[in-house]
Amino acid sequence: MRAVIQRVSHARVTVDGEVVGAIGAGVLVLLGVRKGDTERDLFWLVDKICELRMFRDEDGKMNRSLLDIAGEVLVVSQFTLCADCRKGRRPGFDQAADPAEAERFYEQAVMRFRERGLKTESGRFGAIMQVDLRNDGPVTFVIESPGSKQLGAKCGE
């Protein structure tokens, strides 16, 4: 599993002109699910995001977690994070999970964040979405679960 985490002051996702999810201060999570990902990968990834010290303390240092600040979470499915760009000019998506499997993990991720006590919103799986955000910092991290296969990230080679 691969996620791109952006610390935001606010974010929202829109489908067909309708806002389907919106948050205040917290994180936008773009989530990519790969073939072979497990619930263990999912739990590890969600827990890592919840506990990662990426928010400023009173001294301006990144010493506070999402849980510490009671931040909000917006989860958006992003199968393109599973792209293999190592060859040619067109990304390959062979490593992306089957849509039904990916949706199941996506829904589990949303529930897991809620179980951790965080206000959590989501996009709409499989829809064409517009995501608006104000990146706070900017602070952005790419996190991969330990069991996830690493794919090349050099597009255009």
Q: Which residues are tagged catalytic? A: 78-80
90: left (phi over 0), alpha (psi -120 to 50) or beta: beta
End-to-end CA distance of the chain: 23
Radius of gyration of the chain, Cα coordinates, nearest whole angstrom: 15
- Cα torsion for 107, 111, 113, 117, to the nearest 10°? 160
142, 4 contact by CB (below 8 A): yes
Joined together, the tokens standing for residue 103 give 């949706």
Query: Whose CA is closest to 129, among 148, 108, 106?
Result: 106
